Amino acid sequence: MSGTRRRGPAREAASAALAALLVLTLTACTAAGPHSGPPATAAPHPTSPSGGLGADAEVTPEAWASSRQRAVTELLRARFAAAERSDESGWLAPLQAASSAALRPTQVAVLDRMTRMAVENIRLVGVRETTAPVPAARGTTVEWDVRASLTYRLRGFDARPRSFDLDLTFKADPSRPAGLAITASAPSGRPQPWDLAGLVVRRSDTALVLGVGDDDRIEEVVRRARTAASRVASVWGEVRPAVWIAPATDADAARLLGRTAGDLDGVAAATDGPLTPGERAGADRIVLVPGAWASLRPDGRDVVMTHELTHVTVRASTTRAVPVWLSEGFAELVAYEPIDLPEATIVAPALERVRASGLPQALPGDADFDPGTHALAAAYGLSLLALRTLADAHGTQAVVRLYRATAGGLDVPTSRLDDREAAVDAALRSTTGTTRAALVTDWQARIRHLLR
């Protein structure tokens, strides 16, 4: 799954709108992992392993591999079933007593956060040993490492499953694999919100806010999420209930997104979620990055949140990818619609680019949104101007119809199915009666006017 990036705001930006324009939005930029789709059909629970492997002086891992795998699978299924019931005893039962002093309090807190988040439909997708046990004498215990892949949903918010991986260490006597215990458990690579210490949960009809920090910070996100929902619904006609995550640090935000802190320099928000071609998204997360977020003025924060929620709502309503200029231009159109600032101020980086490089002869291509070009803000501004040109000529709802048609509401010849620009051309004709050439001509005229 490809994604788009948008360069972030300068801390000394002169206006909220300009600062918001320059925010990097990592919409759908995190590739879906191998477990991001629907969970595999679970096999019937096997019968429990039945005890010893004989009186051998030494038991090799190969001799008890099957029973060991069954025992791990049964234990994890039972443990996450307990989590769905908020059954603390069942959740903690597999923890090894010697390690419980450190592990138990952490796992109690994890279960509490999962319960408050309303985590449900937890399914074990796969179990893979990452470090095998070594041969051991009968009656002694051995340890080995496992990576478990699971999926889950958040009640009331996820229409599709979302995946996560756990790294676990198990201990058992090879002659009694059913008596195994967990001695360590940690997220594999990307943590989930329930791994954030101090997590606060706020819920409404349109937003689930998962944040760390004081009440004022969390309530601000709740309030601005409500504003963003109203703005998106007023244009798109509906809004997708969204999950907003507001971690305490940029490092936590990077880990949640599976990125490094350097990847998020200047990034105020990022949308992330699994997306299967031909299907609607249904498990997106919007992660706020606290450093850049704090640098924005109030209107800039509203613009950022409305932009991201537009992506989430559109992804949950459509089934076909569109060109980046249309996706990002539309999100900008919705986000800036209520902002009372001169258009030349909003798209200042685009105008600077045109002054330096000349009038563009075509709408921005996907390559123009590569952060390595150092012209990302210009691409966003030019895309916004293209969508405003259409909206002024045909109405905002005509732009909505254009997007819906391009993103799955219009038949496209099979030979052109993957040609996103061809879908736009067909949608332009069917929804506005215009052509790409006419749009580009009017768009160029708008740019010339702003350059005066």
Amino acid at 66: S
Blockwise average pLDDT, block size 10, the chain, 452 residues: 34 32 36 34 32 49 82 97 98 82 92 99 98 81 96 98 97 83 94 98 96 96 98 97 97 94 86 93 98 95 98 96 97 97 98 98 94 86 99 98 90 60 94 97 99 95
Q: How far apart are CA 170 and CA 95, in angstroms?
A: 9
Q: What is the pLDDT of residue 37?
A: 36
Phi and psi, residue 396, nearest 5°: -60, -35
Please state whether 410 falls in left (phi above 0), alpha (psi between -120 and 50) or beta.
Answer: beta
Residue 20 is encoded by which pair of tokens?
């918001």
Give the closest residue to 257 by CA, choosing from 272, 276, 275.
Answer: 272
Domains of the chain from N-terminus onward: 1-31+196-317 (3.40.30), 58-189 (3.10.450.100), 323-452 (no CATH)
Span between the terminal Cα atoms of the chain, in Å:
40
Q: Is 330 helix (H, G, I), strand (E, B) or coil?
A: helix
Sorted by sequence, the CB contacts under 8 Å of residue 255 that are 6+ apart come out as 190, 191
Q: What is the pLDDT of residue 20?
A: 36
Q: What is the pLDDT of residue 85?
A: 98
Q: How far apart are CA 308 and CA 401, in angstroms?
A: 20
Q: What is the pLDDT of residue 98?
A: 61
* Helical axes 376-394 vs 348-357, angle rounded to 10°: 110
- Give bridge partners of residue 164 from the DSSP assignment: 150
Q: How far apart are CA 271 and CA 50, in angstroms?
A: 48
Q: What is the pLDDT of residue 8?
A: 37
Query: Quick one: which H or E segment has residue 425?
Result: helix 420-431
Q: What is the pLDDT of residue 433?
A: 96
Q: Is 94 helix (H, G, I), strand (E, B) or coil?
A: coil
Q: Are 117 and 195 in contact (CB under 8 A)?
A: no
